[in-house]
Amino acid sequence: MKTNNVILETATKVILFIILLFSVYMFFAGHYEPGGGFIGGLMASGAIVLLLIAYDLKTVRKILPFDFKKVTALGLLFAAGTAAGGLFFDKPLLTHWFTYVYPPILGKMSLHTAVIFDTGVFLVVVGVTMTIIQTIGESE
Amino acid sequence: MNSLITLPLLIPLFTAIILVFFNKNVTVQRWIATIGSLLTLAAAVWLSATVYTQGIQTMDLSNWQAPFGITLVSDMLSSILVVTTSLIGFVCLLYSFRSIGVEREKHYYYPVFFFLILGVNGAFTTGDIFNMFVFFEVMLMASYVLLVLGGTKIQLRETIKYLLVNVISSGLFVIAVAYLYSVVGTLNMAHISVRLNELGQSGIVTVIAVLFLIVFGIKGAIFPLYFWLPGAYYAPPAPIMALFGALLTKVGVYSITRTYTLFFTQDIGYTHGLLEILSIITIIIGVIGAIAYFDVKKIIIYNIIVAVGVILFGVATFTTESLTGSVFYLIHDMIIKAALFLLIGIMIKITGTSNLREMGGLINRYPGLAWTYFVAALALAGIPPLSGFLGKILIVRAGIDAGNYWGSGVVLLSSLLVLFSVMKIFMNGFWGKAREYKQQEKVPVRWLLTAPVILTICAVLYGLGSEALYPIISTAAETLSNPEIYIKAVLKE
Amino acid sequence: MEILMSLLIGVIFMSATYLMLSKSLLRIIVGTGLLSHGVHLLLLTMGGLKRGAAPLLGQQAEAYTDPLPQALILTAIVISFGITALFLVVAYRSYQELGTDNMELMRGKEGNE
Amino acid sequence: MSLLHLAIIAPFILAIFVPSLHKALPKIHTGWFLLPLPIVLFSYFLSFLPQIIRGETTMETLNWIPSLGINFSARVDGLGLLFSLLITGIGALVVLYSIYYLSKEKEKLNQFYVYLLLFMGAMLGVVLSDNMVVLYGFWELTSFSSFLLIGYWNHRERSRYGAQKSMLITVFGGLSMLGGMILLYLMTGTFSISETIAMAATIYGHELFIPALICILLGAFTKSAQFPFHIWLPDAMEAPTPVSAYLHSATMVKAGIYLVARLTPVFALSGLWVWLVAGFGILTLFWGSFSAVKHNDLKGILAYSTISQLGLIMSLLGLGAAAIHYPAVEAGFYTVAVSAAVFHLINHATFKGSLFMMVGIVDHETGTRDIRKLGGLMSIMPITFTIAVIGSFSMAGLPPFNGFLSKEMFFTGMIRAQEIGFFNMETLGLIFPIVAWVASVFTFLYSMIIVFKTFTGKYQPEKLEVKPHEAPLGMLISPIILVSLVVVIGLFPNIVAPLINSVMASILPSLVAEGMKFDVHIYHWHGFTPELFMTIGVIVVGILLYKFMPRWTGIYNRMPEKFSLNSAYDNGLAGIQKGANRFTNAYMTNSIRTYLLYIFTFLILSLGTTLIVKNAFVLDTANVANIHAFELVLVIIIAIGSVSILFVKSRMTSIILLGSVGYAVSLFYAIFRAPDLALTQLVIETVSVALFLLAFYHLPKVNKNEEHMRFKMGNAVISIGVGVVVSLIALSAHSSKAFDSISQYYIENTYKKAGGENMVNVILVDFRGFDTLFEIAVLAIAALGIFSLIKLRLTRGKEQG
């Protein structure tokens, strides 16, 4: 997958940014509107795939020097950690805690442990998709 | 609030996650795995003791009262199954250290191994029918990976078949849950039981019951749904074979037991009658398979099917006594099957073949292996005072008491052919003229042998110490035959 | 609608079954994909269709559609995705290793004595 | 744990130490470490004798599984004591004999003595257990120790064959016996033998009574080698001779006799019991003695002789059981059969034990047991000859040896069979004395063959592998002790009478309860009774037959080997294995398609049948949502899309079709108010299609053969069936909604308690967050799997271990 198309590369950079932003939006919207960690994660990895198409595996590896399997594990750790967190407060597993804060200017905001859990989901999805795509890509 | 119930799930989960970070360093992985496995076992034993002294343990996850959240339920049955699973996991792990090979170890063998244990423990512990599906998938996904890890020809070929069958059975699982949800509008198992009992005898529920039997029957390998099993279990290396043989089908058996005691008790004549017929045919067909081959793997594999039939015959009889027998037999079979698979694994390692016709005379150089095998074989056949006999006696006694003479006779006589099949291995593999094998030197088996020896000792103690176990097992059977106890504990009515 | 959907699901299951019975590995995997669509639609249908607004409280509706089956389907979709991915890679590898995608040529005869 | 339990367990405890003793002191023959044990145990059991003769029994209970009524209860009564004395007494002699018989240099003595000790302990357990389950356990243990001993020289094909045969037959019997015991339990509610006996009268007539009786007898008959189960015993002779003398003649094979004697009080009320035990006994007696004559192997002759003698004892027990139908006053007339049985049991152990040891000596000193090669050894081995003469003459029933006395009593018992006034004995009872006489003729005959073909006639040193000479003294001690007993009991039979009395009290307790006192007196001279004439007849005819043997032995060849029980066993076993192999291979085609066909067919049949039988199909059209036109269009698109995949040939097209079905499904989700689903499905479908293309991108074009996809009728029928069943159940399930869904709770609490507005997402991360946690775990495993699958390629042909 080697394409040295300058236009594509430039366009990719822009689109990539937009998609990543959108994926973050989707991720945070999840609790209130359609969206969530899963969709967000898929979007983000979609963006990275785009990067792959524009450049090649090696370049992407340079830009994102992660072992995506470890990203997956990290995501699981987040999710499982949030889940187990409840135990330390003598609550059942996965008990969430949330509150609303009203900082000036920004208005009503919610703080929710579910977000951390969802971050885990996000990371796992990114990790998994990227692992799969990288592995298959390398084998070819 | 007792968090104990979550530990047999969380410890393997975290162990698996941590192991992913250390995939390059085999030694560190082994240590982490050992510690994780021992902790799981300890937690499971502790949980079991708590269940025994304080009754059924539950946890409403995310602090949503049942039936709205997911509830974890550890009754006596599920907690002793978790103990057994953790024990077998630990032992197979020990065996793996010297047999699975560095290559596999570096390619996420251990994390996936722990995911498998997690899935199995989860399926035993969950009190929510859809969550059970999720744990089934964890377990299955881990089993696909373990089965195919290494990517040899036979592994790939059999993995495809195994995958396909299980994809279908998972699909059927979800539609069964969907049908059930349509009728009763809930997913919590205790709540389902309450609503089904309120509903009384209903045609559609009976149909759903049969569908559940098919779903779990495919996993549990009952007639006529077991065809995938001999091929799939033939492919992987010994410790994986042992893990599969001891655990995976038993999850299916457990699920049938659970649903056929908790949910579908309205039309026993039909549903349990069907189960009874199928279980008897399962025994017969399994026994025929076990005596048909001169291949050590095949012989033990078909013996799995026999045992499934025996356990389910007890479930189908559906009296407290028969259920006690089934639970006794279930635990016994998990332990002894793991031991046997590991033992034949060592035989294969020494001789380089699984064909009995090419073996012989192993007893002279490997007496410890031979005698461990001999004892394990007798335990499998249910010779007192080893582990298998009590379950079998109870199952047969209850069967006859319920008027099922033929079925009980089949259970009893199956022991003879089971014995014949495993003694065939003893007489052709260990006895007879020693042969020339690829490896001329004596293969060091002491470490490998530790694993099956531990299990065989457990089997012996299990039989001798039946009195100590009896209250535990009968508590488990009591809960099965009297779902009210389970329901009360979960819904806290 | 539920009746119509039930019939449609029947058709999907039928096609999926037929595909899974074929020799070609690709068709089999396509069959499993179809099967999961059928399963998910069935799950949705069993919860009752169009009983109210989408389960978003922002809608301020009188009644909402049953959100539970939707959540279950979401879980199921993700899981089937994982399995399909693995299945595809297993298929790909076994084609490399065994040189065929014909299931009838993947029988094997180990230990049949 | 009482001393009694310790006595039973002692052999097992010693067995644990034998391997290390063997290793630590290789210069001392391991047998010497064993020898004290049976001697000590023998004297220990002797100490019970006075109290047993007084009519007292001892019972000690060790709890094992009291919750299920399974306890290790040990009980010593007359019957148990007699057997314990035999086991330990003969055991001591056999161990002593084996020390000289088995070379400490060549043999794996550690194994041998462990097996022997296992057997000794197991056998003591069998005869002293009052609990049936424990008895069963020990019973099987005797089978397995016998299995190991027969297979002791396991590099020999014949040894393995014999071991397997004996194991299969005796374990079959054991299981059947277990079945019988379970049936008894269901009638009585106890596993205790003594309690069962106490309840004997109440269970007679129960519907399980006859099945229990048959099951128990199967156990007894297989163990005691009764016709037609006797075929294992001759092959068991592959074991070293001390073992044959001990297990396969004096003790283990008598376990069946023990069982029959022990349970006579339970079952003897039934005529079936009397007939079966006596009938099979007499048949075995005849067949064994008749078959013994044709053998050339001394051990073969002794094996058949043992079978025959076991039949003799069995038939006596059967006929004697009839006595309990009589009031105590008359019963004495019939109990003579029982006393004969017990007496002969003792005598048989003495003379047969000595004969086996004698054969072992001959084998050891000449290198053969074939009577065609032997002959003229009388002068070379005079002591052995004397032993042979005494043993054989006793077996043949010649005075003044003990065998004569029990043979006379045996005839008495048989003659009295006709007097039993029921069970059709008055008409058919005549069979017994006639068959008994004929069998005795053959017994006489083979006894003579043993002595005279071996020790007289022509000495043929050229046919022998080694130059024979008399055996060492150590080897002779044991048989000499046994033949001395033969003579002593023969001369003073009444020294064992008190023991016989107490044994009879165990076998016929109901008569004791009625006040009967057994008082056996054994005489040499009864006057000119029918028994005496029968004995004379046996001797005369026997001598004639011996003289003219070559003239009539041709009849043995008339019986074709094909129809023998042995070949039935061999062919049966081979046939079962071959049949099982063919059968299993026939349906286990390794083709996944076949397996799926089985599974789907079962699915359709079972669900369809249930739908019909349970009348489960219901259709409720009231509670359904309306249909919009575009929804209909969408339905049609999906239906056509999924069906058309079946007919496309190109891979690409089918992948694209699958993708379009997926997209259409996501439209459905949108319509059905599931925005999250629609979104997810959309993205997932895209990724899936990409993956499909990636995976199949590199596959070369499939060859034409595969391209050619014919429409398969069978597959189509199955597929339609699956579709129909799924639809029908869906319709019924939807029409049978019986409860409101729990989801109202989510709708109410999503905001208030969970702090969210998207219910689906809140369910995913909160209400059912646990599902999500493990759903992503599934994904993670899949990723690890895919990675390893592509990176790790162990392409070695066979991956083992």
pLDDT score for D701 = 58
Collapsed DSSP state (helix, strand, coil) of residue D75 = strand
Q: In 3D, which of D147, D49, D254, D682 has the Cα closest to residue B420?
A: D147
If one looks up domain C2-50+65-103 in CATH, what number appears? Answer: 1.10.287.3510
The bridge status of strand A98-101 relative to strand A109-112 is antiparallel
Please say whether the beta carbons of D644 and D661 come within 8 A.
no
Domain boundaries, chain C: 2-50+65-103
**Chain C neighbors (3+ CB pairs < 8 Å):** A, B, D
Q: In 3D, which of D89, C113, D513 has the Cα closest to residue B355?
A: C113
Domain count, chain A: 1
Collapsed DSSP state (helix, strand, coil) of residue D767 = helix
What angle, rounded to 10 degrees, do the helices at B153-184 and D592-613 form?
20
DSSP D506: H
Where residue A140 falls among pLDDT bands split at 50, 70, 90? low
What ipTM goes with this model?
0.95
User: Residue D44 above 90 pLDDT?
Assistant: yes
> What is the rounded distance in angstroms from the CA atom of residue C16 to the CA atom of residue D715?
11
pLDDT score for D798 = 45
Radius of gyration of chain B (CA): 21
pLDDT score for D700 = 61
Where residue A1 falls among pLDDT bands split at 50, 70, 90? very low
User: Residue C113 above 80 pLDDT?
Assistant: no
Please give the share of chain A, as a percent, with pLDDT higher than 90: 16
Please say whether the beta carbons of B395 and B314 come within 8 A.
yes
Does residue A11 lie within any of the structural domains? yes
**CB interface of D with C, residues 731-770, below 8 Å:** 731, 733-734, 737, 741-743, 746-747, 750-751, 757-760, 763-764, 767-768
Where residue D18 falls among pLDDT bands split at 50, 70, 90? very high
Structure confidence by residue, pLDDT tens digits, D407-464: 999 999 898 888 877 777 777 888 899 999 999 999 999 999 999 999 988 888 888 8
pLDDT score for B229 = 94
DSSP C105: G
Candidate from D155, D211, D781 with C-beta closest to B142: D781
Comparing C96-100, D145-149, D308-312, the range with the smallest average pLDDT is C96-100
Q: Does C10 touch chain B (CB under 8 A)?
A: no
Question: Which residues in chain B land under pLDDT 70?
Answer: 1, 438-440, 493
pLDDT score for D151 = 93
User: Residue D800 above 50 pLDDT?
Assistant: no
User: Residue D711 above 70 pLDDT?
Assistant: no
More confident position, C24 or D730 = D730
User: Residue A48 above 90 pLDDT?
Assistant: no
Measured CA distances, D747 to B194, C43, C61, D742 (Å): 23, 19, 11, 10
> D374: how many CB neighbours lie within 10 A of its CB?
24
Structure confidence by residue, pLDDT tens digits, B411-468: 999 999 999 999 999 999 999 888 877 666 777 888 999 999 999 999 999 999 999 9
Average pLDDT, chain A: 81
Please say whether the beta carbons of D490 and D247 come within 8 A.
no
User: Residue D666 above 90 pLDDT?
Assistant: yes
Measured CA distances, A14 to A17, A19, A23, A54, D262 (Å): 5, 9, 14, 12, 96
**Chain A neighbors (3+ CB pairs < 8 Å):** B, C, D
Chain B contacts of C81, Cβ < 8 Å? none
Mean pLDDT over D124-153 rounds to: 95
Q: Which of B14, B17, B72 to mutate to test the interface with A (most CBs of A within 10 A)?
A: B17
pLDDT score for B439 = 66
Does residue A1 lie within any of the structural domains? no
Chain C contacts of B153, Cβ < 8 Å? 97-98
Please say whether the beta carbons of B303 and B380 come within 8 A.
yes
Domain boundaries, chain D: 1-265, 268-553, 587-743, 744-801
Candidate from D679, D756, D783 with C-beta closest to A31: D756
pLDDT score for A4 = 58
Collapsed DSSP state (helix, strand, coil) of residue D199 = coil
Structure confidence by residue, pLDDT tens digits, B22-68: 988 999 999 999 999 999 999 999 999 999 999 999 999 888 888 89
pLDDT score for B427 = 94
User: Residue A107 above 70 pLDDT?
Assistant: no
CA angle B281, B282, B284 (to 5 degrees): 65
Average pLDDT, chain D: 90
pLDDT score for B180 = 95
In the numeric block, which tokens belong to residue D456? Answer: 């007289």
> D32: how many CB neighbours lie within 10 A of its CB?
14
Where residue D542 falls among pLDDT bands split at 50, 70, 90? very high
Ramachandran bin of B200, using left for φ above 0, alpha for ψ from -120 to 50, beta for the remaining angles: left
> What is the rounded distance in angstroms from the CA atom of residue D338 to the CA atom of residue A43?
93
User: Residue C68 above 60 pLDDT?
Assistant: yes
Q: Which residues contact B271 (CB under 8 A, 6 or more apart)?
A: B206, B209, B210, B213, B260, B264
Structure confidence by residue, pLDDT tens digits, D87-120: 999 999 999 999 999 988 888 889 999 999 999 9
Where residue D657 falls among pLDDT bands split at 50, 70, 90? very high
Q: In 3D, which of A99, B169, D226, D288 has the Cα closest to residue C39?
A: B169
CA angle C77, C78, C80 (to 5 degrees): 65
Structure confidence by residue, pLDDT tens digits, C20-65: 999 888 899 999 999 999 999 999 999 888 777 888 877 777 788 8
**Chain D neighbors (3+ CB pairs < 8 Å):** A, B, C
CB burial readout D479-501, b (16+ within 10 A) else e: bbbbbebbeebbeebeebbbbbb
Comparing A102-106, D715-719, D766-770, the range with the smallest average pLDDT is A102-106
Chain A contacts of D765, Cβ < 8 Å? 30-31, 36-37, 96, 114, 117-118, 121
User: Residue D797 above 80 pLDDT?
Assistant: no
Q: Does B178 touch chain C (CB under 8 A)?
A: yes
User: Residue A3 above 60 pLDDT?
Assistant: no
In the numeric block, which tokens belong to residue D749? Answer: 């609490």
pLDDT score for A105 = 67
Where residue D699 falls among pLDDT bands split at 50, 70, 90? low
Reported residue count of chain B is 493
User: Residue A22 above 80 pLDDT?
Assistant: yes
Q: Which residues contact D698 (CB under 8 A, 6 or more apart)?
A: A140, C92
Comparing A101-115, B114-128, D137-151, D175-189, the range with the smallest average pLDDT is A101-115
